[in-house]
Amino acid sequence: MRKLKILLSAYGFEPGRGSELGIGWNIARIMAQNHDVWVLTRGGNRALIELELLRRPIPGLHVIYYDLPRWLPGSEKFSCGRIQVHYHLWQLGVYFIAKQWHQRIKFDLANHLTFGKYWAPSLISLLPIPFIWGPIVGGESLPFAFWKHLGAYGTSHALLRMATRWLEEWDPLVRLTARRTNLALTPSYETALRLKRLGVQRVEFVQTHGGINVDEYTHLRNLKPPKAVPFRFLSSGRLVPWKGIHLAIRALAQANLPEAEYWIEGSGPQGRHLAALAKKMGIAHQVQFFEGLSRIEAWACLEQCHVLLHPSLHNLFTNICVEAMAAGRPIIGFCVDPATPSQITPTTGVNIIAHDPQQAIGEMAHSMQLLAQNDSLRASMGRAGQERVASLYLWENKCLSLERNYFRVVENTFQEDWGPPEIGTNDMFGFPQSEENHHEEEAIHGRTNYAHSSRGQRQDE
């Protein structure tokens, strides 16, 4: 097999982390086993990166650090909106660094990995080499039926996000990135449509861009089963309105499970509101909040819980779902875009097609009752989740799929020409599936929820 010279853009890049920061690190680490990999990243994590490479050298991995001038404050001090400004400026500067390195190394291809939003440019696409954009997201929208529960903060954020996306779609640099893209990868149907509108010629579906490595999988798989009582639900993530935690609290109250507990791990501007809501619903004694936990501490919380609640309304592709499946915990989650393949399949949890708050809360409440009262169903879903992670979400396996895409782009070996599906339909099969999606057809077809909507029987569309 030919050894490639690969340039990765990873604004988020840090060893030993999950989510966004771990994506770049794990892909670079594994790709460097068979190829020569150069990573463009910020200098903020340089000490951690170099310490890890000193402990565990990776000969094929080379890290190129670039920071904006000192008079611009570091992005870690920014609000979410200012991080986007910093990121755009960083993209402008890093292109010239990438150009200098390409003159020296002669890269075979470039791949933009982290902070992948379809409306944010990636200027390494301007290099005279094949370019892969993604996996990327950002096209998902919060259903209007749920806006009335967002409050002032959530509504203003949703409006700002819509306005930002619209403006950025007209950014010449974004459109230039789209035209220069040889292959865009996304787990989201809505994002795929927007990429096509921007001018990307080839868009393919992949599973979520998150994953875990073999050691993490082994650790999570070996977590002890929780005690039968109290029965615990867990949610993890930022406490912001679009994560839907307020809907899960209302669902717990409606489920009438007085012995159950709901652990919420994370922090954010909605924390006090959620605590007040639990008190208003009469279940404050059942809801506990945990802030500032390390990844290992968060896994300890997961070990003591029976079911993961993932009521997010547009952040559909998260590592916590992968970790919960690896630990053998079923997932109850919302699906607001049935055309997009979900991490939650009928065999690994309950995937609720969310139309409006009342319906979504009611079906989540019933799902909570169902799993709390059915030990064998939970066990079956837990085993299926572990098998799914081993098949689809181990970094070692995901990188094999990405590697195949690298060779397809470098060698220009695409099988067919195709056009976008008709806008407004749910026919996602107008888009080809990337290599990793052929491992499990169920990931595409599993678009309906298990049992809860028809009171105990699996339904298929």
Instruction: Show the tokens assigned to 384.
Output: 């299926």
- Among 189-193, 279-283, 418-422, 454-458, the minimum mean pLDDT is found in 454-458
pLDDT band of 114, cuts 50, 70, 90: confident
For residue 416, being part of any structural domain is answered with yes
Asked if residue 458 belongs to a domain, the reply is no
pLDDT at residue 183 is higher than 90: yes
Domain count, the chain: 2
Residue 156 maps to a domain: yes
Identify residue 272 by its one-letter amino acid code: R
Judge whether 268 lies within some domain.
Answer: yes
pLDDT of residue 426: 30
- In 10 A of CB 153, how many CB atoms? 14
Quick check: is 216 in a domain?
no
141 or 331, which is more confident: 331
Least confident of 159-163, 195-199, 454-458: 454-458
Smallest CA-to-CA distance from 18 within 273, 344, 241, 237 is with: 237
Instruction: State the pairing for strand pair 261-265/61-65.
Output: unpaired
Say if residues 116 and 135 touch (Cβ distance below 8 Å): yes
pLDDT of 347 reads: 93
Q: Are residues 167 and 234 in the same domain?
A: no
**What six digits make up the tokens of 458?**
């699996």
User: What is the DSSP code (8-state) at residue 390?
Assistant: I
Q: Is there a domain that residue 363 lies in?
A: yes
Please report the pLDDT score of residue 228 as a whole number.
86
* 94 and 235 fall within a common domain: no
Identify the top-confidence range among 148-157, 311-320, 420-429: 148-157
β partners of residue 186 = 205
Instruction: Give first-to-last CA distance, the chain, whole Å.
Output: 42
User: Domain check: are 271 and 337 in the same one?
Assistant: yes
459 lies in some domain: no
Residue 56 pLDDT class (50, 70, 90 cuts): very high
Q: Cα torsion for 350, 353, 356, 357, to the nearest 10°?
A: 10
Cα 158 to Cα 144: distance, rounded to the nearest angstrom: 10
Q: 175 is in which domain, residue-wise?
A: 5-211+393-439
**What's the confidence (pLDDT) of residue 457?**
35
Verify that 243 and 301 share a domain, yes or no: yes
Q: Residue 32 above 60 pLDDT?
A: yes
HEC profile of 314-326:
CCCCCHHHHHHHH
Q: How confident is the model over 429-445, as a mean pLDDT? A: 43
- Residue 219: the pLDDT is 95
Do residues 327 and 447 share a domain? yes
Per-residue model confidence (pLDDT) at position 14: 87
The answer to whether the peptide bond before residue 258 is cis (omega within 30 degrees of 0) is: no
| In the predicted structure, residue 437 carries a pLDDT above the cut 80 | no
Instruction: Clarify whether residues 249 and 318 are in a common domain.
Output: yes
Distance, CA of 139 to CA of 186 (rounded, Å): 10
pLDDT at 460 over 80: no
Q: For residue 299, which of 311, 312, 290, 288 has the smallest C-alpha distance?
A: 290
Tell me how many degrees the CA angle 187-188-194 measures, rounded to the nearest 5. 130
Would 217 be classed as within a structural domain? Answer: no
Task: Assess whether 234 and 364 both reside in one domain.
Answer: yes
For residue range 82-109, list pLDDT tens digits in order: 667 778 888 888 999 999 999 999 999 9
**pLDDT for the residue 4:** 96
pLDDT category of residue 211 using cuts at 50, 70 and 90: confident
Claim to verify: residue 199 and residue 283 sit in the same structural domain: no
- The segment with the largest mean pLDDT, out of 87-96, 131-140, 174-183, 443-452, is 174-183
Question: What mean pLDDT is predicted for residues 370-376?
Answer: 95
Residues 321 and 206 in one domain: no
Share the mean pLDDT of the chain.
Answer: 84
Q: Are 132 and 408 in contact (CB under 8 A)?
A: no
3-state DSSP assignment of residue 276:
helix
Residue 451 banded pLDDT, cuts 50, 70, 90: very low
Judgement on whether residues 46 and 195 belong to the same structural domain of the protein: yes
Ramachandran angles phi, psi of 235, nearest 5° = -130, 150
Q: Which CATH number goes with the domain that contains 14?
A: 3.40.50.2000
Query: Does residue 190 sit in the same domain as residue 279?
Result: no
Q: What 3-state DSSP class applies to 101?
A: helix
Mean pLDDT on 21-42: 92
Query: What's the angle, vertex CA 316, arms to CA 313 and CA 322, rounded to 5?
Result: 135
pLDDT, greater one: 205 or 184: 184
Residues 400 and 383 in one domain: no
